[in-house]
Amino acid sequence: MFKTFRPGGIHPSENKLTAGSTIEELPVPEQVSIPLNQHIGAAPKVLVERGDQVKVGQLIARGEGFISANIHSSVSGKVLKIAAVVDMSGYKRNAISIKVDGDEWVEEIDRSPELITEIALERQEIVQKINQSGIVGMGGATFPSHVKLSLPRGMKVKYLIVNGAECEPYLTSDHILMMEKADQILVGATIIMKALDVEKAFIGIENNKPDAIDHMSDRAQHYPGIEIQGLRVKYPQGGEKQLIKALINREVPSGGLPIDVGAVVFNVGTLFATYQAIQKNKPLFERVVTSTGKNLEKPGNFMVRIGTPISALIEACGGLPENTGKIISGGTMMGKALNSLEVPVIKGTSGLLVLPEAESRRKEMQHCIRCSKCITVCPMGLEPYLLMAFGERELFERMEEEKATDCMECGSCNYICPANRHLLDYIRLGKVEINKIRRLRKN
């Protein structure tokens, strides 16, 4: 029996071109630029200066405030400059550029491939270590993980929910990680379970990855309290609220957090990073990135150092095809179109998608025909057509009443709309404006 969430959801063509191709180490580039704003929250404080020598895994920026994350060098070499570089959105933001020289790692990092299942650290120590290692949610939201583990007083977690759904079309980085690093992920889950003091963990995997379900179920037998659950293929199953609904049939209240229903959600990639941080002393400075596209010569899954320019990734896939129309960081649904090839890979980059010209254009927008398809597919039970109408008329207070802030920007409404309306664009605008209104109200 495969579970899934209700209401809403869509089933875009999966296009998992790179399923089954093993993780390949991407050669260390000549130069990396490591952005400071890689996570949700405050920018960290830079600890290095121009001309400093750094090693792989060395702390180069310390998180400022509670919601922030440390940043470690992903290469060894000399700090070239701390200056603004173009980031994913095209804006220039501060980054630390390092000229690579050799590959010298910090001594504390255990580079042996040996699996360590024994967890030596205590609960508090685990949270501290995760904080130090700069681990953030690697499903794309990049929320600092230690914040999730520091529960408010009186809150009790019952379940650890692990996201192995990978519902985004094209992406296979979590899939390949589950196939190759199943034990590490499961040890990571055990570590988080210990930190949160929970007994039960569910790992949800969509059934378009039967090999991953089988392999993980097989390995999970050796880890008490962890259960693998197959899920019916449906986008956006990887959304935390949808995953909770699918796995434990609880609904997170509007404006609430998973903790309100006794759950905490982690991505398999984050668990792998947790394993490396706790058991191997290795901070987060590399991640698996799917580099894919129908016209790429050899798409694949790569282990990439943070800060590597995406041009290096495309080069590894055989260069940019001629008819490329769009390059997206992430998947087709929630990814972001890039406007430079020098954008660095960051902690939240799960994939890189090269789309041909023919697939990269929006179709012309027409009038709403009130077919209500957007309402049917909205996983949050919202009315996108109405929200857009309010957005166009700048009635942001009405949008707030209609719970626009519950929108998680999955793009299902845009996908399904037969009139090609820019539903999500206006909802996104509304969310920004509502936040402004709320801030004004507070003051």
Partner 1 sequence: MSPIVLYTIISLSATGIAAAIILFIIAQRFKVIEDPITDLVEEALPGANCGGCGYAGCRNFAEACVKSDKLTKLFCPPGGNETMLEVATILGKEAVEKDPLVAVVRCSGSFAHRARVNQYDGAASCAIASSLYAGDTGCQYGCLSHGDCVRVCEFDAIHMNPETGLPEVVDEKCTACNACVEACPKDIIELRKKNKRDRKIFVSCINQDKGGIAKKSCSVACIGCGKCEKVCPHDAITIENFLAYIDPVKCKLCRKCVPECPTDAILEINFPPKKQKEEETKPDNNGETKVEPVETDKLGEESKSE
Tell me the window of 242-250, 293-301, 305-313, 422-430 that interacts with partner 1 (CB under 8 A).
Answer: 422-430
The least distance separating partner 1 from the CB of residue 282, rounded to whole angstroms, comes to 33
Among 62, 194, 336, 398, binds partner 1 (CB under 8 A): 336
Tell me whether residue 88 or residue 377 sits nearer to partner 1 (CB atom).
Answer: 88
**Backbone phi and psi for residue 189, each to the nearest 5 degrees, phi listed first:** -65, -40
Q: Which of 180, 320, 422, 434 binds partner 1 (CB under 8 A)?
A: 422
Q: Rule CB under 8 A: say whether 362 interacts with partner 1.
A: yes
Residue 358 in the binding site for partner 1 (CB under 8 A): no
Determine, following the binding rule CB under 8 A, whether residue 89 of this chain makes contact with partner 1: yes
Report which DSSP code applies to 36.
Answer: S
Q: Which stretch binds partner 1 (CB under 8 A): 115-123, 131-139, 234-242, 421-429?
A: 421-429
3-state secondary structure of 186: helix
Q: What gap in Å lies between CA 202 and CA 229, rounded to an integer?
A: 7
Nearer to partner 1, 81 or 250 (CB): 81
Of 10, 3, 4, nearest to 415 by C-alpha is 10
With binding defined as CB under 8 A, does residue 426 bind partner 1? yes
Q: Which residues pair with 81 in a beta bridge?
A: 97
* Min separation Cβ 312 and partner 1, Å: 20
**Which of these, 90, 241, 87, 92, lies nearest to 161 by C-alpha position?**
241
Q: How many CA atoms lie within 13 A of 400 on its CB side?
A: 11
Contact between 92 and partner 1 (CB under 8 A)?
A: yes
How many angstroms separate the CA atoms of 166 and 332, rounded? Answer: 12
**Closer of 365 and 371 to partner 1 (Cβ):** 365
From 81-89, 94-102, 187-195, 404-412, give the range in contact with partner 1 by CB under 8 A.
81-89
The count of chain residues that interact with partner 1, using the rule CB under 8 A, is: 19
Report how far residue 8's alpha carbon sits from residue 50's, in angstroms, rounded to the nearest whole number: 51
- Answer whether the bond into residue 236 is a cis peptide, omega within 30°: yes
| Nearest partner of 314 among 334, 335, 290, 350, judged by Cα | 290
DSSP helix/strand/coil, 363: coil
User: Which chain residues interact with partner 1 by CB under 8 A?
Assistant: 84, 86, 89-92, 336-337, 339-340, 361-362, 365, 422, 425-426, 428-429, 432
